[in-house]
Amino acid sequence: MTKIVNSWNDWDPLKHVIVGRCDNGMIPPEEPATSEKVPVDSDMRGMWGLRPLRTVEKGNEALDRLVKILEDRGIKVDRPTPLQWNQKIGTPDFTNDSMMGCMPPRDVLLTVGNEIMAAAQSFRCRYFEYLAYWPLMEKYFEEDPEFKWTQAPRPRLTDKSYKHNYYDESISLEERLVRTANKDFVTTEVEPMWDAADWMRMGKDIFVQHGLTTNRAAMDWMQRYYPDLRIHAVNFPGDPYPIHIDATFVPLRPGLIINNPVLRSPRSSAPSSRQTTGRSSRPPSRPTPSRPSCATAPFGCP
């Protein structure tokens, strides 16, 4: 019986991985969730449209080199199928002038054991990004009888999902840091919203960054969905743009974590009705697979 998907952490020997593509990549138009994410000194501020061809080509060259490095080590690599990301999209609740791209699979797909779940992202421009990975999910589903293919509840992303006038060009860095420390972010709690890159898997323990791309409702939903796992909310008070935990806090093996030296170490958020938190002085436990592990996990560039 073919075993394709089985991964509980980010440090076991890698056997199978998804690496993204930069093809047709877009700088998305401004929307409620994106303004706060883009630093004020970024060249992307105030721009939208097709990414310059030279940056797309450089990005693809880097990803292709990564693929060769992985394949030279005997690791199987799959790639997504890019869409025409410049298409206008819409739902009954919103319209957007374009999508974004499929360079970072780890933003969209979360692997827990033999399950790959598509995230409930807060960016309207990323609402249909999961479609780039559906051919791969269909293939895994056909070939691996134990593979679970799931989609988290899709958020509606109405205006109620965001704090209006949250972003202000005149806000100082110090004010941003105060907001981060106070866990005051652009998303509201009316529905679960999350990026897969905010979730750090350590066996039965999952550490989740509460920030600009993941809210507390998402942690609440995930704890109910995985009652046998422990969900820990963490906050990085030294990060003025808190998104994606793997750019800040990465486990290298049980008992060893590397932390971004520019940012202060994380601290657990206070418990609330919207989250489950906890700490442990011991290395997290890990479920024992019923057969040898064949790790499949999304991979992309930060």
The one-digit pLDDT tens for each residue of the chain (302 residues) are 689 999 999 999 999 999 999 999 999 998 887 765 555 566 666 667 899 999 999 999 999 999 999 999 999 999 999 999 999 999 999 999 999 999 999 999 999 999 999 999 999 999 999 999 999 999 999 999 999 999 999 999 999 999 987 876 678 888 888 888 889 999 999 999 999 999 999 999 999 999 999 999 999 999 999 999 999 999 888 888 889 998 888 999 988 999 887 766 555 444 333 333 333 333 334 333 332 233 334 433 33
Q: The whole model's pTM is what?
A: 0.84
User: Taking CA 273 as the corner, what is the angle to CA 223 and CA 220, rounded to the nearest 5 degrees?
Assistant: 20
CATH of region 16-299? 3.75.10.10
H or E element in which residue 230 lies: strand 230-235
Q: Please report the beta strands in 93-228, taking only residues with DSSP state E, as ranges in sequence order.
A: 95-96, 109-112, 115-118, 148-151, 199-202, 205-209
Residue closest to 75 by CA, chosen among 16, 19, 20, 18: 16
Length of the chain: 302
Residue closest to 96 by CA, chosen among 33, 153, 154, 39: 33
H or E element in which residue 180 lies: helix 173-181
As separate numbers, helices (DSSP H) first and strands (DSSP E) second, the chain gives: 5, 16
